[in-house]
Amino acid sequence: MSYTGPDFDPPRPRRSPLRRTLTVALAALMPGALLGWGVYAAVGGPGGGGGEERAAPVPSSSAPAAGGDDAKEPAGGASSPATASAPAVSGPLKGKVVVVDPGHNPGNFRYPDEINRTVDVGTHHKECDTTGTSTDAGYTEAAFTLDVAHRLRDLLTRQGATVKLTQDGDRPYGPCVDERARIGNEARADAAVSIHADGSAAGNRGFHVILPGAVHAGAADTRAIAGPSRDLGERIAGRFVRVTGSAPADYVGGGTGLVTRTDLGGLNLSKVPKVFIECGNMRDAQDAALLTSGAWRQKAAQGISEGIVGFLRG
C-alpha cells in the first residue's frame, strides 16, 4: 500500500539507527502482543530467520520477480485452486468465519476511471481504490497480497475456519474500499484482515499493523469494534515479529508496530473486528528481498494466522 494514494498519510521522518534499536528494545518490554517482540533480539534483526517455517510455501499464480522457492507445495499436497471462499474442515476454529482482504487488484491499473471514482467512507469521500505499489524490480503489491492471502486461507482452513476472500483475481478491478468492508460485514466475520505492503521511501523498513480509531460519522461507526480490533492487531503483530523475524516499522508507529487511523474506508465502515497489516516496504531493497521470497511469504502468512487463531480462541 503506497503512501501516495488516497488512503494514505505521508511517511514520518526516519529515526536514527540508535533510536530504532532503542524503540524495538522498549517494544519488547510492553505487555500483550508486544511481549513477542522480545524474540526480535534473539533472531538478530529483520530477515534473521526468526520463527520456524511451519509449512513449505504454497504455489502462487503470480510469480515474484525474484526467488525460486515458490514451486514447493505445502505439507499434505498441492493447494486447492483459487476460490473466493474456502469451506471449513474439522478443527479448533470450526464455526468461525475469517475474511481475508488482499489489498488492491492486479487489474486496477487498467481501469483508472473506475478506481478513481469516489465512494462514501462515512467521514468523507475517497477514491474507490488504488493500484498499489511495487518493488523496483516490478513485483506488484497486488501480486504479493494475493499470494499471502492464499497461504493464509490454507492455514486457517486447516484450523477449521471458514475463509472468504474479498477478491481472488476473479474480477477486473476492485472491489472498492466500501465494498471490501461490506463483504466482511455481510459474512458476519469473526475477524477480518486486509493484507498490504507499503510504498514508503527507500531506507524505511519493517511492518506495521493499522488499527481502526473510534469513528462515529455518517455510515461509519467503529466504536463497538475498536477494542476487539486492537486485540486482534496486537496479537497479529506479536506473532508476526516472532515468526518472520521482522522488526516493527522504523518510520511510523513509534517503534511499536501499531498505528491507529480514522481515514481508511475499509476500517471505518467495518462492523466486525478488522485490521490492516503492512508486511514491509516494497521500496526498500532489504524489505523487498523478503517480500519477493516465497519462503518468507509463508512465514508472513503463518504469523498472521497465529495472531488470528489466538484472537479467535481468546
Q: Please give the pLDDT value at position 133.
A: 98
What stretches in the chain show pLDDT beneath 50? 2-83
Angle at 297 between CA 296 and CA 301, to 5 degrees: 120
The number of C-alpha atoms within 13 Å of 277 and in the hemisphere containing its C-beta is 35
Q: How far apart are CA 288 and CA 82, in angstroms?
A: 25
Question: pLDDT tens across 157-213, in order?
Answer: 999 999 999 999 999 999 999 999 999 999 999 999 999 999 999 999 999 999 999
Q: pTM surpassing 0.95?
A: no
Nearest to 224 by CA among 283, 294, 171, 274: 274
CB 69 within 8 A of CB 293: yes
pLDDT tens-digit readout, 274-292: 999 999 999 999 999 999 9
How many residues would you count in the chain? Answer: 314
Which residue type does 302 have?
Q
Q: What pLDDT sits at residue 234?
A: 98
Gyration radius of the chain's alpha carbons: 18
How crowded is the C-beta side of 203, counted as CA atoms within 13 Å?
8
d(CA 151, CA 168): 12
257 close to 249: Cβ distance less than 8 angstroms: yes
**pLDDT confidence of residue 90:** 82
Q: Is 256 left (phi over 0), alpha (psi -120 to 50) or beta?
A: alpha
Q: Which residues are catalytic?
A: 278
Residue listed under C-alpha cell 467495518:
270
What are the cell numbers at 264?
Answer: 481508511
Give the span between the Cα atoms of 295 and 289, in whole angstroms. Answer: 11
Domains and CATH numbers, the chain: 89-313 (3.40.630.40)
